[in-house]
């Protein structure tokens, strides 16, 4: 079997991630659960330790030295995020708890205030629950209707159906850029054009896109873009909502509290400008700063080499799994990130996951917060191996050996 070309120095990269040296059940850890959360390089860990060792203070409110240091570091991180996704202005970059909160912010500010009975919100058949349930909730609150673009058996969206579903009643197209359950990179440009032609707004869920390829929100011309730091080598508890400046200026705040106000009296409160208007209360300061460090880490890598290397892992893993009798790969889109969902004939995914864990191999089993996808493929769940640039073909070989073992033990 063809091994991957060493286009990046994987050994050096692995040395940056201390957790990768861990042993699990006496075996070297093989971490293939990057779709759920990625591991963190030392640079990110150090950013958190340094923050608490030298900078800790509340931001935006103090004139004292530490408060100014913390504020500067937090705002520098916001600038790094702006550049990372090529946004026009830092005022378009809102710190959130993660992708889920970003979507809930849009549904409960824009959605709650602008959707009317009979308006339609269009999502896709492969969405994560985070991009289904908040829309269902706001549809219930406003009388709007949720419509779904179907997919085919490869896990690709059906564009002719999208064209039929997106209509003059569509107010919002909210879709995932990349599928967490299937790995599909969606043809967002084509579907967004359909939405733009009918004057709908567009939200892209980029949680699984930003860890793998460069995203340019101005080139995409989406209205909102959401993602989580923890899936892109940053910390948990922090994420980003990008919104176009014009739209953020129009929509009301999300939560009320400190930082989001200009003036408060008991009679009337006036609101701060974006992004602060949407950032009530003390935020995850060290998380924002550490997200900035994760961006520094990613920027220092050769993007094209990372993409080539990850593609080689995807190809190698797919071929190796296909060679195992009884394996069914779920999601065979032409364009994928290195995520492989699969099942083994006659064996429950959890049982396979359990035996892989005994061999030190971390995969995710279950519905991956995408129950409609599991229903579509008529499976209770899948085994999902999701790779990052620090994974290797040797690790894939270990997984294949462990799968053979699981088959022997469970049949
Ligand atoms: C595509 C997608 N959207 C949304 C989410 C939710 O992200 P978070 O839990 O970080 O808010 C995930 C997490 O798995 C995801 O993969």
Q: What is the DSSP string of 173-224?
A: EEEESB-TTT-BB--HHHHHHHHHHTT-EEEEE-TTTTTTS---HHHHT-SE
Ligand 1 atom at minimum distance from 178 CA? 1
pLDDT attached to residue 61: 79
What are the residues whose beta carbons fall under 8 Å from the beta carbon of 155, sequence distance 6 or more? 126, 179, 182, 183, 184, 330, 331, 332, 333, 373
Main-chain dihedrals φ then ψ at residue 149, nearest 5 degrees = -80, 120
Predicted confidence at residue 3, as pLDDT, reads 47
CA of 384 to the centre of ligand 1 (A): 15
What pLDDT score does 360 carry?
A: 98
* Ligand 1 atom at shortest distance from the alpha carbon of 369: 14
Cβ(235) to ligand 1 under 6 A? no
Q: Which residues pair with 96 in a beta bridge?
A: 239
CA of 55 to the centre of ligand 1 (A): 30
Distance of CA 385 to the CA centre of its chain: 16
Atom of ligand 1 nearest to the CA of 36: 14
Cα within 13 Å of Cα(95), Cβ side? 28
Nearest CA to ligand 1 atom 7: 99
Distance CA 380, CA 105 (A): 31
3-state secondary structure string across 152-168:
CCCCCECHHHHHHHCCC
Nearest alpha carbon to residue 30 among 363, 383, 344: 363
What is the distance between the alpha carbons of residues 222 and 310, in angstroms, rounded to a whole number?
Answer: 26
Question: What pLDDT score does 368 carry?
Answer: 93
Whether the upstream peptide bond of residue 275 has omega within 30° of 0, thus cis, is: yes
Closest CA to 339 of 135, 31, 34, 134: 34
Burial class from Cβ neighbours inside 10 Å (0-12, 13-18, 19+) for residue 323 reads: exposed
Q: What is the DSSP string of 102-123?
A: HHHHHIIIIIHHH--TT-EEEE
CA distance 323 to 207: 31
The rounded Å distance from CA 6 to ligand 1 centre is: 30
Do 349 and 382 meet the contact criterion of CB atoms below 8 Å apart?
yes
Q: Whose Cα sits closest to atom 12 in ligand 1?
A: 207
CA of 66 to the centre of ligand 1 (A): 34
Q: Exposed e or buried b for every residue in 2-13, given b needs 16+ CB within 10 A?
A: eebeebbebeeb
Q: Which of 207, 331, 337, 370 to mutate to test the pocket of ligand 1 (most atoms within 8 A of CB)?
A: 207
99 lines ligand 1 (CB under 6 A): yes
Question: Tens of pLDDT along the chain (411 residues)?
Answer: 444 455 799 999 999 999 999 999 999 999 999 999 999 999 999 999 999 999 999 998 789 999 999 999 999 999 999 999 999 999 999 999 999 999 999 999 999 999 999 999 999 999 999 999 999 999 999 999 999 999 999 999 999 999 999 999 999 999 999 999 999 999 999 999 999 999 999 999 999 999 999 999 999 999 999 999 999 999 999 999 999 999 999 999 999 999 899 999 999 999 999 999 999 999 999 999 999 999 999 999 999 999 999 999 999 999 999 999 999 999 999 999 999 999 999 999 999 999 999 999 999 999 999 999 999 999 999 999 999 999 999 999 999 999 999 999 987
Three-class DSSP category at 100: helix
- On the 0-12 / 13-18 / 19+ scale of CB atoms within 10 A, 206 is buried
Catalytic residues: 369
Question: Would you list the DSSP string of 293-330?
Answer: HHHHHHHHS-HHHHHHHHHHHHHHHHHHHHTSTTEEEE
How far away, in angstroms, is 131 Cα from ligand 1 center? 9
């Amino acid at each position: 079997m063809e091994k991957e070309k060493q286009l990046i120095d994987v050994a050096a990269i692995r040395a940056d991630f201390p957790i990768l040296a861990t042993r699990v059940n006496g075996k070297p850890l093989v971490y293939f659960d990057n779709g759920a959360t990625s591991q963190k390089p030392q640079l990110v860990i150090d950013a958190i330790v340094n923050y608490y060792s030298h900078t800790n203070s509340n931001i935006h409110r103090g004139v004292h030295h530490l408060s100014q240091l913390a504020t500067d570091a937090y705002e520098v991180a916001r600038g790094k995020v702006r550049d990372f996704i090529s946004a026009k202005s830092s005022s378009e970059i809102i710190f959130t708890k993660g992708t889920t909160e970003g979507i809930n912010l849009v549904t409960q500010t824009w959605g709650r205030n602008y959707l009317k009975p009979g308006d339609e919100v269009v999502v896709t058949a492969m969405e994560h629950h985070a991009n289904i349930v908040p829309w269902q909730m706001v549809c219930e609150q406003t009388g709007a209707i949720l419509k779904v673009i179907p997919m085919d058996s490869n896990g690709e969206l059906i564009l002719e159906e999208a064209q039929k579903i997106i209509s003059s009643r569509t107010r919002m197209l909210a879709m995932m850029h990349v599928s967490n359950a299937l790995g599909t990179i969606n043809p967002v440009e084509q579907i967004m054009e359909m939405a733009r032609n009918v004057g709908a707004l567009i939200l892209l869920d980029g949680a699984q896109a930003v860890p793998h390829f460069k995203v340019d929100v101005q080139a995409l011309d989406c209205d909102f873009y959401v993602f989580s730091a923890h899936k892109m080598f940053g910390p948990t508890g922090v994420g980003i909502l990008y919104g176009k400046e014009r739209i953020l200026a129009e929509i009301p705040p999300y939560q009320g509290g400190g930082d989001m106000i200009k003036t408060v009296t008991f009679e009337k409160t006036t609101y701060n400008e974006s992004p602060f208007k949407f950032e009530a209360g003390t935020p995850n300061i060290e998380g924002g700063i550490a997200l900035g460090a994760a961006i520094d880490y990613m920027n220092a890598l050769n993007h094209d080499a990372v993409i080539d290397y990850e593609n080689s892992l995807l190809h190698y893993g797919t071929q190796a799994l296909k060679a195992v009798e009884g394996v069914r790969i779920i999601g065979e889109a032409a364009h994928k990130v290195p995520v492989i969902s699969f099942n083994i004939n006659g064996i429950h995914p959890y049982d396979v996951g359990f035996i892989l864990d005994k061999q030190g191999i971390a995969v995710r089993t279950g519905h991956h917060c995408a129950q409609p996808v599991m229903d579509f493929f008529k499976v209770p769940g899948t085994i999902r191996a999701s790779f990052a640039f620090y994974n290797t073909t040797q690790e894939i070989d270990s997984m294949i050996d462990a799968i053979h073992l699981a088959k022997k033990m469970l049949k």
